[in-house]
């Protein structure tokens, strides 16, 4: 099976390419191997869209993909990597048939628009991911590790009692591979997050222990508020100008996520895709080892 991977250079695409290359049934291809995007789509037996980045990039990639794919005489299957952000700021258990009520922010709206484009393509399988962590996952492992190591994150008290719908990167890759091999699931959407996901406090404390960043600090609401008000804006600007030379900011979106009590129901993925979730302790040890090795480079 010739599998076109769109977004092959990001933290999802890279391990996916490795997994497909190791298989005895798939030949991964990327758009650069063709004379143009249209030809790359024409070459493919199946397509994976794991585009990341700016909101407009996410929407534009999905729109272009589905427009080109629909022009083929036999439209190819597409695995579209979506996000739990399409559900918005809701609480409680959420299954795939829940209303899509994405928040007003540009990123959430972009994910919603791309998910809706995929929903109108009958040959698509949509994977709505939780909080991706593990080797290569800079946002939810690399940056969190930096903040924990500096003592700027820890036990947030009531501010960290929301559900952290963790998804180990290997489990996401396994879900994509399983989707490629199950054409009978086309047209469906699947939530992806580990069963019995911890709270954000649980994630921070367990990750800090895996990193050796102990004792874990208790971060008061007042301290967090001060960080957001006085430190986050200049650190954000410095990050844009100087890259990784200065510590990362704690963002309002992270603080909001830590309070949200949404719990993804991923039981359908367990049954239909045959997924078995990576043990949290194992995943955190691998994430910690990757972060420490990355710091030494």
List domains and CATH numbers for the chain: 2-296 (3.40.50.720)
DSSP 116-171: HHHHTSTTEEEEEE-EEESTT-IIIIIHHHHHHHTTSSSB-GGGG-SB--EEEHHH
In the chain, pLDDT over 70 holds for what percent of residues? 96
Which stretches within the chain are classed as H helix?
Answer: 13-22, 37-43, 55-70, 106-119, 143-149, 169-180, 200-211, 221-226, 232-242, 252-259, 267-272, 280-296
Residue with more model confidence, 221 or 40: 40
Residue with more model confidence, 137 or 34: 137
Say which range, 86-95, 155-164, 229-238, has the weakest mean pLDDT: 229-238
What's the mean per-residue pLDDT of the chain? 94
Say which range, 33-37, 165-169, 261-265, has the weakest mean pLDDT: 33-37
Whether the pLDDT of residue 244 is over 60: the answer is no
Q: What mean pLDDT do residues 224-229 have?
A: 82
In the chain, pLDDT over 90 holds for what percent of residues? 85
Task: Give tens-digit pLDDT for 38-49.
Answer: 999 999 999 999
């Amino acid at each position: 099976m010739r599998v076109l991977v769109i977004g092959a250079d990001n933290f999802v695409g890279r391990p996916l390419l490795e997994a497909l290359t190791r298989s005895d049934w798939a030949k991964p291809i990327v758009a650069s191997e063709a004379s143009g995007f249209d030809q790359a789509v024409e070459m493919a037996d199946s397509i994976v869209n794991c585009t990341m980045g700016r909101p407009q990039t996410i929407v534009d990639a999905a729109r272009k993909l589905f427009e080109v794919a629909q022009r083929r005489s036999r439209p190819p299957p597409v695995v579209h990597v979506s996000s739990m952000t399409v559900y918005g700021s809701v609480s409680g258990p959420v299954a795939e048939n829940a209303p899509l009520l994405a928040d007003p922010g540009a990123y959430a709206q972009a994910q919603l628009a791309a998910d809706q484009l995929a929903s109108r393509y009958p040959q698509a399988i949509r994977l709505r991911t939780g909080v991706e962590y593990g080797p290569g996952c800079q946002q939810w492992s690399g940056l969190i590790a930096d903040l924990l190591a500096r003592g700027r994150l820890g036990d947030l008290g009531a501010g960290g009692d929301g559900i952290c719908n963790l998804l180990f990167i290997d489990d996401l890759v396994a879900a994509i591979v399983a989707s490629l091999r199950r054409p009978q699931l086309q047209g469906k959407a699947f939530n992806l997050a580990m069963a019995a996901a911890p709270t954000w406090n649980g994630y921070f404390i367990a990750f800090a222990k895996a990193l050796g960043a102990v004792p874990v600090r208790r971060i008061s609401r007042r301290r967090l508020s001060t960080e957001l008000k006085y430190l986050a804006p200049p650190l954000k600007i410095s990050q844009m100008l100087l890259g990784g030379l200065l510590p990362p900011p704690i963002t309002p979106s992270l603080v909001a996520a830590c309070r949200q009590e949404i719990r993804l129901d991923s039981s359908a993925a367990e049954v239909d895709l045959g997924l078995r979730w990576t043990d949290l302790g194992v995943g955190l040890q691998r994430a910690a080892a990757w972060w420490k090795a990355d710091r030494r480079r």
